[in-house]
């Protein structure tokens, strides 16, 4: 057949961007379809009160790059746009500990720790990883806590995808021998997660996607894939038709054909799409689609300083340091740039209890015990400059199942392990320690504090690896069971709990998957 493309990639996050470049290098004709928008440095908002430019909810005419999804067991923070999650993530690129490679449904399929080592290094190089050279107030406060608990040796600066150079100084491409775009030195403004307005953050549109376009890859933005059907043979060996619609609500529908399809829309894009396709056009997809969803066992606490003359906690990188609190747990201080206080209206003091009434009365008790501090927190001026978000993550495993909902688009169901919860005692303990340092009270998202459901920026799984279609959706090379030339390369392939920020791991596994695909000699 005369097909439009060799590969269509659905989504432009870490897996999709890696796939676009490596397939283009191998001589394949590639199209990337992304439901979000293109963003230049000047398109990003100055702070997160500009929700029209920050939040993605096109039905409400919000066309930003940050999305909040409320599910019955978890609230998910994710990115949308050309470059996917890299537009709004905190740049942090840790390698998981050994337990990650030796657990989960993928553990016996390869010696993953050894196999992926060179691909982690490739990811570091492509993403322009550097160790954060400067610690600021939030980092130094955490370092003090590390000293007090005898864990100073387990505190370190993060390795991040940021060009440092000379602050504010523009230079020619420092990474790809002049083939990449100009870059500008980081100003340590703390606004990484509301979009880098200073061209210092190494987002995917400045490396993988940028180089892929030079090799002929096409990127079709503001389009959402709604169907994938096979052409000819039912196993897809003759190719596929990929149908899409405008993601902004216009009547711009279309379709293309391709020999292969790679799903790279992230867990909240790929998994519901695969579930829908299994019902209507791709019935041979594994029944494991949507299973083994993980949340990194996270807790997000917000601590606002009520000191009379506080330090500036907004200065630095979004995440500039990490404390390995024990073999299973990690703590990172997170910051937003000056003026970004939107989350203030979505938080409340957190009281750990199984019973909602005790949590509510606990807040009332807190108001009686510490009324001045609570008042100063709620009505704090320069909120972002006073506030630190504490991200606590664990490798301890528990899973959910993601399903299509009747009322909502998606719903979750408990699967195995302990129920994911916002009430992690170790996290609250560190929140109180940090609060003592800055005269603050641990807050959390309202859904966390009232319902006990955690918030995560690292939703993973749903199309995990397995030995066959009974234990996974994809094989060890990320190829989908039941169909030819069909793959998944995004966070939904993560088949165990990394316990740390997963972007580098998604990059490394996708690099490996692309290395297995032969060069196009046609």
Do residues 286 and 33 lie in contact, with contact meaning Cβ atoms separated by under 8 Å?
Answer: no
Burial 126-158 (b: 16+ CB within 10 A, else e): bbbbbebeebbbbbbbbbebbeeeebeeebebb
Copy the structure tokens of residue 327. Answer: 């073999």
Which one is catalytic: 188, 324, 330, 458? Answer: 458
* C-beta atoms surrounding 172 within 10 Å: 9
| R_g of the chain, CA atoms, integer Å | 22
Q: How far apart are CA 293 and CA 316, in angstroms?
A: 32
Q: Which two tokens stand for residue 419?
A: 């129920």
Residue 451's contacts (CB-CB under 8 Å, 6 or more residues apart) are: 356
Q: Cα angle at 15 between 9 and 16, to 5 degrees?
A: 25
> Is residue 281 packed enough to be buried (19+ CB in 10 Å), middle (13-18) or exposed (0-12)?
middle
| 73 classed as catalytic | no
- Residues 6 or more apart whose CB falls under 8 angstroms from that of 412 comprise 71, 72, 73, 74, 293, 400, 401, 402, 403
| HSE-CB for 401 with a 13 A CA cutoff | 12
Rounded to 5 degrees, φ, ψ at 477 are: -105, 15
Find, among 69, 94, 103, the residue nearest to 506 by Cα: 94
CB-CB neighbours of 364 under 10 Å:
11
CA distance 133 to 327: 25
In sign, the C-alpha dihedral spanning 141, 147, 152, 154 is: negative
What contacts 521, CB < 8 A, 6 or more positions away?
27
293 vs 419: CA distance, rounded Å: 12
Helix/strand number for the chain, H first, E second: 13, 25
**CB contact at 8 A, 208 and 354:** no
CA-CA-CA-CA dihedral for 89, 94, 95, 96, to nearest 10: -80
Residue 333: its H or E element: strand 329-334
Q: Are 299 and 422 in contact (CB under 8 A)?
A: yes
The 10 Å Cβ neighbour count of residue 468 is: 10
Contacts of 291 by beta carbon, 8 Å cutoff, 6+ apart: 399, 401, 415, 461, 462, 464
Catalytic site residues? 458
């Amino acid at each position: 057949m005369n097909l439009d493309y060799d590969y269509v990639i659905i989504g432009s996050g870490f897996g999709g961007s890696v796939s676009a470049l490596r397939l283009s290098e191998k001589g394949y004709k590639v199209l990337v379809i992304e439901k979000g928008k293109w963003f230049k440095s000047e398109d990003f908002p100055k702070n997160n009160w500009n929700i029209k430019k920050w939040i993605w909810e096109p039905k409400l005419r919000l066309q930003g790059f940050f999305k909040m999804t409320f599910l019955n067991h978890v609230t998910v923070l994710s990115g949308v746009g050309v470059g996917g999650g890299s537009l709004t993530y905190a740049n942090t690129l840790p390698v998981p500990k050994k337990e990650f490679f030796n657990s989960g449904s993928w553990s016996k399929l390869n010696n993953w720790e050894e196999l992926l080592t060179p691909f982690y290094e490739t990811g570091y190089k492509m993403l322009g990883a550097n160790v954060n050279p400067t610690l600021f107030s939030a980092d130094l406060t955490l370092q003090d806590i590390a000293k007090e608990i005898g864990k100073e040796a387990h505190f370190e600066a993060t390795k991040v995808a940021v060009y440092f150079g000379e602050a504010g100084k523009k230079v020619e491409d420092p990474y790809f021998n002049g083939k990449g775009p100009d870059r500008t030195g980081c100003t340590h403004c703390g606004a990484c997660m509301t979009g880098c307005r200073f061209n210092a953050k190494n987002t995917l549109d400045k490396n993988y996607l940028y180089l892929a376009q030079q090799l002929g890859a096409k990127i079709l933005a503001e389009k959402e894939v709604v169907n994938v059907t096979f052409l000819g043979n039912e196993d897809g060996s003759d190719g596929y038709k990929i149908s899409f619609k405008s993601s902004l609500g216009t009547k711009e529908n279309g379709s293309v054909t391709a020999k292969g399809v790679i799903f790279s829309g992230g867990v909240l894009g790929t998994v519901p799409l695969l579930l829908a396709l299994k019902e209507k056009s791709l019935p041979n997809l594994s029944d494991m689609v949507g299973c083994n969803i993980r949340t990194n066992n996270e807790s997000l606490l917000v601590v606002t300083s009520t000191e009379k003359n506080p330090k500036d906690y907004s200065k630095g990188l979004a995440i500039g340091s990490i404390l390995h609190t024990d073999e299973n747990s990690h703590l990172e201080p997170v910051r937003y740039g000056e003026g970004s206080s939107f989350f203030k209206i979505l938080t409340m003091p957190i009281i750990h209890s199984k019973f909602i009434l005790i949590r509510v009365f606990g807040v009332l008790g807190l108001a009686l015990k510490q009324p001045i501090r609570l008042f100063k927190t709620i009505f704090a001026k320069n909120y972002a400059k006073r506030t630190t978000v504490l991200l606590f993550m664990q490798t301890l495993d528990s899973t959910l199942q993601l399903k299509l909902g009747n009322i909502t688009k998606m719903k979750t169901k408990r699967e195995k392990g302990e129920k994911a919860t916002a009430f992690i005692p170790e996290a609250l303990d560190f929140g109180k320690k940090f609060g003592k340092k800055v005269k603050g009270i641990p807050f959390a998202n309202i859904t966390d504090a009232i319902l006990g459901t955690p918030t995560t920026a690292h939703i993973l799984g749903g199309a995990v690896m397995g030995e066959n279609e009974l234990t996974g959706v994809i094989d060890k090379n990320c190829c989908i069971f039941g169909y030819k030339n069909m793959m998944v390369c995004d966070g939904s392939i993560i088949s165990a709990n990394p316990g740390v920020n997963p972007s580098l791991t998604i990059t490394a596994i996708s690099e490996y998957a692309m290395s297995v695909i032969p060069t196009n000699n046609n």
